[in-house]
């Protein structure tokens, strides 16, 4: 077999693996958590519908004691946030922190890890959209203190093919970067 033939077969194998991985990714999206599960904290990542209301319900039910909303726009004030999401003042004062430092999934993980350490939490529930969960959970697990229990609680959505395609490729790129130590 020629070098060209070997290259074509390897390229075909990689393309087939990528395609099968995409089918798996799109078909078996992470699911919402089956209740009741308690954690010390809950982390909601901004960016997708339903994430923040779901995390607030978790807090209101007593399934977590604290909530970090990571990636909040710097112009949003706590009072505006409370009005937008109908958060009672007592809950806002005691239990909800708005994180303004994150601008993407990796910095969500950094911001969340800082919050986990500051509050000495051993377990957190991660709330994000189903199509985003795998990458968000991977990044948080990489950053979080050793032994931190991370419970995935995906918010179900109806993602477009475009969103699934982009997110799958972001996940593949992230895993490749991790594999080469970048």
**pLDDT mean across residues, the chain:** 95
Contact 37, 120 (CB under 8 A): no
Question: For residue 94, what is the domain's CATH number?
Answer: 3.40.50.620
Return the SS3 of 64: coil
Sheet holding 123-129, edge to edge: 96-99, 66-70, 41-45, 123-129, 149-155
The answer to pTM > 0.85 is: yes
Query: Looking at the domain assignment, is residue 112 inside a domain?
Result: yes
Return the SS3 of 125: strand
**Residue 178 — pLDDT band, cuts 50, 70, 90?**
very high
Mean pLDDT for 129-137 is 98
Q: How many residues does the chain have?
A: 182
Query: Looking at the domain assignment, is residue 9 inside a domain?
Result: no
Query: Looking at the domain assignment, is residue 36 inside a domain?
Result: no
Query: Looking at the domain assignment, is residue 100 inside a domain?
Result: yes
Q: With a cut of 90, say whether residue 105 has pLDDT above it.
A: yes
Residue 64: both structure tokens together: 């977590």
Query: Looking at the domain assignment, is residue 20 inside a domain?
Result: no
Rounded CA gap, 31 and 54, in Å?
13
Look at the chain and report how many structural domains it folds into.
1
Residue 154: give the domain boundaries.
41-179
Rounded CA gap, 15 and 79, in Å?
50
The predicted structure's pLDDT at residue 7 = 84
Query: Looking at the domain assignment, is residue 32 inside a domain?
Result: no
Query: Looking at the domain assignment, is residue 3 inside a domain?
Result: no
Rounded CA gap, 137 and 153, in Å?
10
Mean pLDDT for 100-110 is 97
**Position with higher pLDDT, 152 vs 6:** 152
The predicted structure's pLDDT at residue 6 = 87
Mean pLDDT for 121-126 is 98
Using one digit for the tens of pLDDT, what is the confidence trace for 63-99?
A: 999 999 999 999 999 999 999 999 999 999 999 999 9
Write the DSSP symbol of residue 104.
Answer: S
The predicted structure's pLDDT at residue 48 = 85
The predicted structure's pLDDT at residue 120 = 97
Query: Looking at the domain assignment, is residue 51 inside a domain?
Result: yes
């Amino acid at each position: 077999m020629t070098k060209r033939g070997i290259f074509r077969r390897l390229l075909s194998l990689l393309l087939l693996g990528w395609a099968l991985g995409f089918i798996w990714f799109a078909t078996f999206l992470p699911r919402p958590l089956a209740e009741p599960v308690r954690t010390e904290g809950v982390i909601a990542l901004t960016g997708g519908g339903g994430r923040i209301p779901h995390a607030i319900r978790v807090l209101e039910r007593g399934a977590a004691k604290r909530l970090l909303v990571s990636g909040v726009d710097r112009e949003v004030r706590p009072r505006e946030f409370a009005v937008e999401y109908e958060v009672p003042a007592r809950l806002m004062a005691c239990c909800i922190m708005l994180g303004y430092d994150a601008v993407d999934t990796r910095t969500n993980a950094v911001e969340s890890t800082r919050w986990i350490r500051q509050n000495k939490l051993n377990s957190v529930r991660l709330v994000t959209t189903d199509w985003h969960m795998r990458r968000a959970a991977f990044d948080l697990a990489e950053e979080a203190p050793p032994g931190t229990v991370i419970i995935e609680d995906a918010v179900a959505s109806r993602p477009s093919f475009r969103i699934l395609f982009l997110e799958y490729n972001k996940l593949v790129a992230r895993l490749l970067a991790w594999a080469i130590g970048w």
